[in-house]
């Protein structure tokens, strides 16, 4: 523990030196000013459709202040002429609005309608008494499906329950989680930003070889990673708490929701400096990681209350928190557990990879990954390492498949299922076989019998992980029939176990015994796996 | 003079292609484009009642219980919903539980100038939010009708137009993102390329060849710009092949070129002044943010200019692009002034 704190302290000093250097507090203030100023000026202006419409105005028209519209004040004749010339899209003359029939003008009309509606409401609300300005009240009741119709048909009138909510249509927009998603996104931004510094720090130490010196000191790699991560992690948690306080949310709940997310993001950013070879690598990998994690977190949350799959993202929980809705343990664990598991896996991988040879070697990225996998497996017996590997990568596989599913929804409807089946088969075969292939290539395993045994264990490990995940997700994701196909629900475990073993055996034997290129072997295994999945799905549907 | 310049350009491009890093960058853009085009847009449409009506509208059946004739019924049908009128609340409720209607509305008898109506929705979140989305517009019309009864006139309420979500999204988000993301990457790449030489102490060796500092810096910027503009051109072709109407493509491409010139020059400038990657990247990102803010404030935002060029705005032309060209020239001169610092 002490060691970790020492490293953490040194990390803070390093950061202070780097950025505090000759520069004074003035720089810091200046930077903060830049950020604040940018946020302020971009707050309103960067909106959907900024600057797209040109509107001509004449006579008594409410002032239009919206970044989407550029206004020109013209007289009547000029206005018509400009509209004809297609120089402006809409011409407003007092209460009358003129437009053309082409798309550009029609879009402008709709945008104008939306804007004017808000303006008019504000005008009416301020100049008339509330009852006449907002004359319609809608009481909303929800009817459960469990309530039998016969009960009420027996002569009883509808019990006079209180309405769930009372809305005024023009003032109450339909429920959309967008605003809350954006608030929830506020939590992610500082975490990502901080973790980029964490990555930079690792890289810096790697370049000037201090990391190597540190490794020769009597501290374990685990202590080094944890120590270097500690200041950044604390800072992230403080940020999370701060945002929660500022947005008047429950601080403890916010920490509970975003804790696993923070760890997940740190886990990903821990891997970046391990694998990079040149500076450009880091930039690109960091960008990719940011894009992927952000979309993984944000996009499902947009489906809050629309689709159960929204629960794969912890942001959904945050959205619910801001809406004052409740969620249970199962809903909490569903997104959090895989993230925490990935953090654990990354920590383990990090400690194994933190050695001079691995860090300093310049190799093609595929070789580097193979090295990493080997390092993770090498310290225990293959018969233990292989099934554990298959079990441990499950959260990663699961997240990859979720992202791929989101990708696949872009495809024409008929293709979604097919593509999803192929890709998920590919991912599964990849993770199940790669460990064995690496071990064989290093000469750790040689005989066909061993390879077959390992293939069986790999399939077993994967199956156990799959079932655990299914146990967690059942009841939450009830509608996603595709996930049933992917995770193979509703079958006796023996058949999938054999299937997993068979596919993995195909890939590994083709690669190791027939010396086929790995991609080709993988392709063959994937194909068989796909046919199997396809056949199963036909039986289920 | 020209040959060493080209040699550096060739080396830079080769290293990017060999490391396959550019693939990641293209992947991100592809990811974003495909996500936005269908998923994000689909999401946005999920909150856009017009789109919902287009796909599932006619299938939604709404029950209506009202003693007297009520304009709301007409408004609902005009929206494209199937309206079924019931005599009593009990009938409507029975129809609801038997699946005859998805939701029903009960209007009380004594409709005075303020009306309180009851809306019964299914317990399922997804269906009820969908229904609330599509009946929002008829309800608002009904509200305006009631206002008119109170002699309150709502102006501009009868405008129609076409749904704007995808139009605004394509021209003000997707296109700028596809044109300027490569530029952003180009800036980062220039920093990486220069600071890597600095931190590995290979710059001195490079400069011992027949190559000036300025020539080397220019070559690095040039190769970053080439990479970015190639991506932009590819995107423009792809967008047009997908039936997105783009005006002024030549100016758009030139603008993208100038912007990536600006980003790579400012990236290089940051690297020249700070000499390490960590701080340069940080300052570079902040500078871009500030530049975006300032340009928006000054009303010369390249994003808006790009959107306007693409939709064929009457008042936007090549001169607007030239403004950025002038800025690039100024920035480059500044870089030439400071580049000497690399040697000492």
pLDDT, tens digit, for every residue of A256-286? Answer: 989 999 999 898 888 888 887 777 777 777 7
B24 vs A contacts (CB less than 8 Å): 284-285, 287-288
**Chain A residue closest in CA terms to B187:** A283
Tokens of A123: 């005008």
In order, the DSSP letters of B294-311 are HHHHTT--HHHHHHHHHH
**Distance, in angstroms, between B187 CA and closest chain A CA?**
11
B283-291 long-range contacts, CB within 8 A, separation 24+: B284/B187, B284/B188, B284/B191, B286/A31, B286/A34, B286/A35, B288/B184, B288/B187, B288/B263, B289/A34, B289/A35, B289/A38, B290/A34, B290/A37, B290/A38, B291/B266
Q: Does residue A87 belong to the interface with chain B, where contact is any CB pair within 8 Å?
A: yes
Distance CA B276, CA A222 (A): 28
Looking at residue A14, its pLDDT comes to: 77
Residue of A334, A343, A320 whose CA lies nearest to A253: A320
Number of domains in chain B: 2
- Residue B74 pLDDT exceeds 70: yes
Same domain, B336 and B218: yes
Measured between alpha carbons, how far is B80 from B99 in angstroms, rounded to an integer? 19
Domain shared by B215 and B125, yes or no: no
CA distance A97 to chain B (A): 8
Contact A135 B136 (CB under 8 A): no
Task: State the Cα–Cα distance between residues A67 and A53, nearest whole angstrom.
Answer: 9
Set of chain B residues whose Cβ sits within 8 Å of the Cβ of A362: none
Which pair of structure tokens corresponds to residue B185? 């990457």
Number of residue pairs across A and B with CB atoms under 8 Å? 299
| Joined tokens for residue B145 | 């009708």
Q: Name the 3-class secondary structure at B85.
A: strand
Residues B167, B185 within the same domain: yes
Determine the Cα–Cα distance for residues A69 and A56; give it in Å rounded to an integer. 10
Best residue in A138, A159, A171 for a mutation probing chain B (most B CBs within 10 Å): A138
Q: Which residue has the higher pLDDT, B210 or B92?
A: B92
Give the start-to-end residue ranges of the domains of chain A.
53-133, 177-362, 363-541
Of B149, B175, B195, the position where a domain reaches its end is B149
Q: A86 touching B, CB under 8 A?
A: yes
CA B245 to chain centre: 16
Alpha carbon of residue B128 to chain centroid = 29
A132 touches chain B (CB under 8 A): yes
- Which residues contact residue B233 at a Cβ distance below 8 angstroms, ignoring those fewer than 6 apart? B253
Across the range B144-173, mean pLDDT stands at 83
- The verdict on residue B264 lying in a domain is yes
Give B328's pLDDT tier (boundaries 50, 70, 90): very high
Region of residue A305 (left: phi > 0; alpha: psi -120 to 50; beta: else): left
Residues B62, B77: Cα–Cα separation, whole Å = 10
Residues of chain A with pLDDT under 70: 1, 18-32, 37-48, 145-161, 173-179, 303-309, 406-407, 409-413, 471-493, 539-541
Residue B99 sits in a domain of what CATH number? Answer: 3.40.1710.10
Give the separation between CA B182 and CA B334, rounded to whole angstroms.
23
Nearest to B142 among A18, A37, A136 (CB): A136
Q: Quick check: is B79 in a domain?
A: yes
Q: Which residues contact A64 (CB under 8 A, 6 or more apart)?
A: A55, A57, A71, A115
Are the beta carbons of A302 and B43 separated by less than 8 Å?
yes
**Cβ contact B188–A283 (<8 Å):** yes
Q: Which residues in chain A are contacts of B289 at CB distance < 8 A?
A: 34-35, 38
> Measured between CB atoms, which of B24, B168, B293 is closest to A38?
B293
Say yes or no for a CB contact (<8 Å) between B139 and A138: yes
Residues B53, B35, single domain; the answer is no
- The domain boundary, picked from B149, B178, B208, lies at B149
Instruction: Give the number of C-alpha atoms closer than 13 A to the C-alpha of residue B69, restricted to the C-beta side.
Output: 2
User: Both B171 and B296 in a single domain?
Assistant: yes
pLDDT of the residue at B256? 95
B122-131 residue pLDDT tens: 876 667 777 8
Region B210-239 average pLDDT: 89
Return the residue of B nearest to A279 by Cα: B192
What pLDDT score does B225 carry? Answer: 94
Chain A nearest C-alpha distance from B98 (Å): 8
**B156 in any annotated domain:** no
The strand pair at B115-122 and B103-107 is best described as antiparallel
In a domain, B231, yes or no: yes
Among the partner residues B121, B154, B164, nearest to A107 by beta-carbon distance = B164
Question: How far is it, in rounded angstroms, from Cα B102 to Cα B196?
Answer: 64
Q: Of B119, B149, B179, at which residue does a domain stop?
A: B149
Beta bridge partners of A151: none
At A376 the pLDDT is 84
A177-201: per-residue pLDDT in tens?
A: 566 777 777 788 888 878 878 887 8
Query: Are A279 and B196 inside 8 Å of each other by CB?
Result: yes
Q: B155 lies in a domain?
A: no
State ipTM: 0.82
Identify the domain containing residue B167 by its residue range. 2-43+163-342
CB-CB contact of A55 with A69 (8 Å) = yes
Chain B's closest residue to A109, CA to CA, is: B161
pLDDT score of B183: 92
Residues of chain B in contact with residue A287, where contact means CB-CB under 8 angstroms, are 24-25, 28, 185, 188
Query: What SS3 class is residue A90?
Result: strand
* Residue B157 placed within a domain: no
Is the pLDDT score of B69 beyond 90?
A: no
> What is the per-residue pLDDT for B100?
83
């Amino acid at each position: 523990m002490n060691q970790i704190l020492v490293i953490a302290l040194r990390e803070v000093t390093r950061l202070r030196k780097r950025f505090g250097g000759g520069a004074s507090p003035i720089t810091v203030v200046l930077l903060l000013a830049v950020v604040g100023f940018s946020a302020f000026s971009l707050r309103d202006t960067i909106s959907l459709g900024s600057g797209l419409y040109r509107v001509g105005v004449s006579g008594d028209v409410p002032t239009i202040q919206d970044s989407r519209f550029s206004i020109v004040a013209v007289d009547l004749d000029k206005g018509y002429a400009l509209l004809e010339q297609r120089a402006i899209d809409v011409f407003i003359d007092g209460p009358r609005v003129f437009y053309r029939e082409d798309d550009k003008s029609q879009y402008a009309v709709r945008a104008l309608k939306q804007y004017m509606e808000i303006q008019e409401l504000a005008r009416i609300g301020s100049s008339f008494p509330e009852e006449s300005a907002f004359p319609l009240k809608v009481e909303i009741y929800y009817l459960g499906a469990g309530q039998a119709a016969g009960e009420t048909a027996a002569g009883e009138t509808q019990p006079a329950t209180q309405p769930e909510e009372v809305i005024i249509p023009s003032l109450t927009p339909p429920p959309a989680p967008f605003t809350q998603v954006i608030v929830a996104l506020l939590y992610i931004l500082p975490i990502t930003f901080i973790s980029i510094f964490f990555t930079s720090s690792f890289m810096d130490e790697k370049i000037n070889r201090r990391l190597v010196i540190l490794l020769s000191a009597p501290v374990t790699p685990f202590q080094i990673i944890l120590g270097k991560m500690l200041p950044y992690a604390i800072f992230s948690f403080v940020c999370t708490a701060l945002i929660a306080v500022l947005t008047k949310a429950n601080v403890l709940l916010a920490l509970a929701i975003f804790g696993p997310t923070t760890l997940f993001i740190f886990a990903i950013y821990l891997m970046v400096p391990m694998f990079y070879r040149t500076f450009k690598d880091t930039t690109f990998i960091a960008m990719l990681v940011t894009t992927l994690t952000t979309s993984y977190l944000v996009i499902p949350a947009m489906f809050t209350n629309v689709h159960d799959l929204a629960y794969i993202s912890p942001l959904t929980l945050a959205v619910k928190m801001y809406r004052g809705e409740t969620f249970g343990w199962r809903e909490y664990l569903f997104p959090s557990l895989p993230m925490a598991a990935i953090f654990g896996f990354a920590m383990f991988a990090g400690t194994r990879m933190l050695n001079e040879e691995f860090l300093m070697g310049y190799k093609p990225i595929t070789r580097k990954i193979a090295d990493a996998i080997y390092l993770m497996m090498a310290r225990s017996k293959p018969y233990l390492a292989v099934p554990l590997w298959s079990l441990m990568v499950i959260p990663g596989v699961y997240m990859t498949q979720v992202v791929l599913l989101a990708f696949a929804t872009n495809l024409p409807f008929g293709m979604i299922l097919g593509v999803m089946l192929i890709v998920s088969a590919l991912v599964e075969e990849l993770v199940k076989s790669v460990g064995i292939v690496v071990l064989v290539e290093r000469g750790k395993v040689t005989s066909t019998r061993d390879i077959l045994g390992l293939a069986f264990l790999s399939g077993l490990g994967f199956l156990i992980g799959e079932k655990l995940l299914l146990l967690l997700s059942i009841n939450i994701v009830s509608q996603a029939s595709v996930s049933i196909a992917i995770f193979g629900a509703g079958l006796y475990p023996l058949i999938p176990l054999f299937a997993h073993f068979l596919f993995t055996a195909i890939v590994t034997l083709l690669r190791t015994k027939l010396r086929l290129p790995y991609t080709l072997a993988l392709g063959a295994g994937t194909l068989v796996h796909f046919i199997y999945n396809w056949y199963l799905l036909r039986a289920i549907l | 003079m020209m040959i060493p310049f080209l040699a550096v350009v060739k080396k830079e491009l080769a290293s990017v292609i060999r490391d396959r890093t550019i693939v990641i960058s293209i992947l991100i853009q592809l990811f974003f484009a495909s996500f936005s085009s269908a998923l994000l847009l689909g999401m946005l449409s999920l909150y856009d009642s017009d789109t919902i009506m287009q796909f599932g509208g006619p299938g939604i059946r709404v029950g209506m219980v009202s003693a007297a004739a009520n304009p709301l019924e007409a408004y609902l049908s005009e929206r494209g919903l199937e309206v079924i009128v019931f005599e009593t609340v009990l009938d409507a409720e029975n129809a609801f539980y038997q699946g005859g209607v998805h939701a029903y509305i009960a209007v009380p008898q004594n409709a005075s100038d303020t009306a309180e109506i009851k809306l019964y929705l299914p317990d399922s979140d997804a269906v009820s939010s969908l229904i609330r989305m599509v009946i929002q517009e008829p309800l608002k019309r009904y509200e305006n009708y009631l206002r008119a009864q109170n002699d309150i006139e709502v102006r501009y309420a009868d405008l129609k137009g076409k749904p704007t979500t995808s139009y605004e999204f394509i021209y003000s988000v997707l296109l700028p993102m596809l044109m300027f993301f490569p530029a952003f990457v180009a800036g980062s790449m220039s920093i990486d390329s220069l600071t890597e030489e600095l931190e590995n102490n290979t710059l001195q060796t490079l400069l011992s060849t027949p190559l000036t500092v300025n020539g080397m810096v220019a070559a690095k910027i040039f190769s970053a710009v080439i990479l970015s503009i190639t991506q932009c051109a590819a995107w423009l072709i792809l967008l047009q092949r997908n039936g997105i109407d783009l005006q002024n493509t030549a100016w758009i491409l030139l603008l993208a070129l100038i912007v990536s010139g600006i980003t790579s020059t400012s990236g290089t400038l940051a690297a020249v002044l700070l000499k390490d990657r960590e701080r340069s990247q940080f300052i570079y990102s902040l500078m871009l943010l500030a530049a975006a803010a300032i340009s928006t404030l000054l009303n010369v935002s390249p994003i808006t200019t790009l959107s306007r060029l693409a939709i064929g705005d009457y008042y936007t032309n090549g001169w607007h692009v030239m403004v950025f060209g002038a800025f690039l020239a100024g920035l480059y001169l500044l870089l030439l002034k400071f580049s000497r610092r690399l040697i000492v």
